[in-house]
Amino acid sequence: MTDNPHKILDELKPEKDFFIGVDSDGCVFDTMEIKQKEAFCPMFIKHFHLQKISKYARETWEFVNLYSTTRGVNRFKALLRALELLKVRPEVIARNAVFQDMAPLFEWVKKENKLGNPALTKYAAETGNPVLDLTLKWSVEVNKMIEEIVFDIPPFPLVAESLQKMMPYADLMVVSQTPTEALVREWKEHNIDKFVRFIAGQELGTKGEHLKYAAKGKYDDEKILMIGDAPGDLAAAKSNGVLFYPINPGSEEDSWRRFFEEALIIFFTGGYKGAYEEKLIKEFESFLPENPKWKV
């Protein structure tokens, strides 16, 4: 990996008039549930010794990563958020659960913009901090588990057809916080990698940075669209002043049908920005609460 990963994105030249960035997990593939419930969460309980509060650890992890405004957030930020919420749960306090001091990870997350295993490996080796070593061990094992159990999960209905419909008019790019290796494997497995010009994972920075360096200033803002299923995707689009199409969690098939039959044409013909986009975003935001029911 180059010392300046953004250079790869910066050097991409427009070939079409439009640019469309597409998230992967939970947006193109129905992989969010299996990854979070069968890989991330079990390894969270195992490595951070949460066995005595496993019920609450699981509920909290799933809330942070699937059913709230932090859905789709980077794994290290999700780890910190889940532990923060767990610590203050009355049921957890009553069980005298012991937690690691995550300050070293918090400091790293605050200053690092390429929040992936390569950057953490380097930083952990430099500092020799046991909490960072533990976090890295957890993250590596999560990737291993995902590789073993996540396969044969096709894209949502109408995804491939939508990509095919976009391709003649727009430069397409995967914009994700999943490790690039996993993205390439999943997109190739289902033969949809042929539709996109580039696959950008967590090693190339945040989703906002992906859009900034690959598209911003190269296309008209109203001709740049981000498709995603999480508030982070919306934030990435808005931080760059570009458009957003939501894949609503739990209503993915309906969202892709609407995109294929209606929204894509509206985007290409210039009527997307304004009332139409605002209506879709308002609906999207109603799907994901900010606080868990135990905290409200």
CA gap 146, 164 in Å, rounded: 28
Residue 271 CB: number of other CB atoms within 10 A? Answer: 12
CB of 288 within 8 A of CB of 68?
yes
For residues 111 and 94, give the distance between their C-alpha atoms in angstroms, rounded to a whole number.
Answer: 34
Query: Do the bridges between strand 224-228 and strand 18-22 make them parallel or antiparallel, or are there none, so unpaired?
Result: parallel
CA 117 to chain centre: 15
pLDDT for res 3? 58
Q: What is the predicted pLDDT for the residue at 296? A: 55
Contact 79, 112 (CB under 8 A): no
Tokens standing for 35? 């990854």
Question: In the prediction, which pLDDT does 47 show?
Answer: 97
Task: Catalogue the long-range contacts made by 94-102 (C-beta closer than 8 Å, 24 or more residues apart).
Answer: 95/52, 95/53, 97/50, 97/52, 97/53, 98/49, 99/48, 100/48, 100/131, 100/134, 101/131, 102/131
Report how far residue 292's alpha carbon sits from residue 60's, in angstroms, rounded to the nearest whole number: 8
Domains of the chain plus CATH, in order, are: 6-30+155-285 (3.40.50.1000), 32-149 (no CATH)
Q: In what order do the strands lie in the sheet with 243-246?
A: 198-200, 170-175, 18-22, 224-228, 243-246
Beta carbons within 10 angstroms of residue 159's beta carbon: 24
pTM exceeding 0.75: yes
**10-residue averages of pLDDT along the chain (296 residues):** 74 97 95 95 97 97 94 93 95 94 96 90 96 98 94 95 98 94 93 97 91 97 97 96 96 97 98 98 93 80
Q: 90-113: buried (b, 16+ CB within 10 Å) or exposed (e) per residue?
A: eebeeeebeeeebebbeebbeeee
Q: Which amino acid is at 1?
A: M
Residue 179 has what pLDDT? Answer: 86
Q: Identify the pLDDT of residue 1.
A: 45
Is the separation of the CB atoms in 239 and 215 below 8 Å?
Answer: no
Helix (H) or strand (E) holding 185: helix 180-189
